[in-house]
Structure 1
Amino acid sequence: MNVGDRVRLMSGREEGIITRILDNNIVEVAIDNDFTIPVTRREIVLIAPEEAKAFRGQVQEQDTIKPSARREPPAPVLAEKGIYLALVHQSEELLAATIINNTDYDVLFTSGEDRNNLYRGLHNNKLGPKATQVIAHYHLKDFEQWPSVIVQFLQHRNGGPALFEPVTKRVQFRANSFYKSKKTAPVVNKEAYLFQLDTKPVAVDPDKIKEQLAASPSAQETFKLQAPEHEIDLHIDKLVEDYSGMSNSAMLKLQLERFQDALERAIAANMHEIVFIHGTGNGVLRKEIQKILSRTPGIRFFEDARKEKFGYGATLVRLR
């Protein structure tokens, strides 16, 4: 049994997808692509590919009789060649993290997760040309708790004309860029959130930059870093006029994005301190803010702001 296999529980009719191998005898299964449970291998049975294919055919046939169904045209494939990490929808909520080898070379790879500087290995394998491997599953509702995914790989082909250096790539998921990465993934030919692993940074030519600045002196005048206010109020009603249709996770993402933007501008502007007003509430926003602060360079320390003014609803950040 492997990650991504569809299985049925022997104790009932529930079906699901294997999302993790917990140890030699226990796997994690996402039931109906929603909630996950640990089960022993002897409690589940693999669903034959023919059965799964027939099931998918029935679902597609049912979909075609819905008069209101509309199929959007697929987005263009990002690139002909390359090695990718793709987050492919298994359902509206569940995503399969998939390594895609869209090259003519064999790829030896390892993958793992980094949570709070604690590494956990996931998979190692050899992918042939135009092959894929599911390495993990993630729920969109837990997006803020997703780990960084680290992939190490080496390309090779017997008789090949090129020698490749080993590559280590860390993919960190941020809300403001994640949803913009949706493309049609190569090989699997499905819409996915796509991250290319074998891209190389473009060399910067300092002389050319100086020439451009000299030719256009107004460019320096038009750009000026705007320092944030000394106090940043992150209450949701201060950020958007109407938030009645927003989920709690969407509100939290917006608050954290505004916090991150203000913090980065404060550091760049050499401010000595800044106060973030997050309120008390259930403490989730305060906890997430202080988690980010604890791993951000350039922070001297942070503490509860003046209690006589803010109570326990604000955090004071001292910058270096």
Structure 2
Amino acid sequence: MNIGDRVRLLHDHMEGVVVKIQGNIAEVEIEEGFIIPVAANELVLIAKEENQYFDTTPPKASKSAKESSGSKEAGQRQQGGDKSPLYSYKGLYLAFIPTNDRLYQLYLINNTDWTTPYAVSKEQNGNHMGVAGGVLGARQYARLDEVNIEQFDSWGIYYFQVLFFRQGYYTLPHPLLRKLQFRASTFFKALQMAPILDKEGYVFQLDKDFQWKATEWEASRPMDAQQIIHSLLKQDQAEQSKIAVEVPEYEVDLHIEKLLPNHKGMSPDAIFAYQLDVFERKLDAAIASGMSEIIFIHGVGNGKLRDAIQKRAGRHPQVEFFQDAHKEKFGYGATLIKLKSK
């Protein structure tokens, strides 16, 4: 069950749209503005076939936006939202669906009743490039990109811009703007079924905290460049002042079962990327907090993780030297990194 899904109460005749999920409780909008909390096991999804047969709600598209663009059916589907007394406002998702152990397809999923023009770009090594753009009808998806999990650290920063449209009168929302840089520490915890696609992958909701209702639009006025720069600098300084450095433990165990008890289903490449991400974050925290040294327990195995850690330590400007740590205790399964004093 996902945000934007149309559901029916199991022991009632009421239907609604899921607007929030917290644990085993879903908040369901059964009338415009009237929301009730319901246990998840008391809800059933309204089947696509039922919507299409009775024509009571906008049907969920089984085709991608690219496959159905320009068709008469697609045009009718985009206009169908006005027929329903309830409108699904939220439910924009990103889904990374595996093709194999290395390659993942990135999809944009519109599990709402909006028609959503979108543009996606990304920044890599200081260069900005377009990735995809188009229009998604209600309950449609579009493939955006293909990524390699072995190159996780070089995916770059994704930028998403989304507009919202529907036929008839409605409150005009502001555009949805999101900037995402994925970290292994959170990425591999997002495994679930992707809405519309009905495939397992790593899924992220783009509009989770988005306030879709519009505020007052300000009248156009001349912009003062110096005032804008001053405001941005002040905001950046305020953000920096909020950063608190957490002192890491002296011995950091990088075995995956210690980092992620629930790691079933992760490929070896995904596990390796996650371990390296933890290593880099803990090393940065040790440097920032003023530690003189830190030990990383990586085990022996095939030596791939050990080699990667020592390679990164060897070229880090804040590392004085590294060596195998306490051979009598760890054998060759741990590395001590001595940090330069500030």
TM-score (norm 1): 0.49
TM-score (norm 2): 0.46
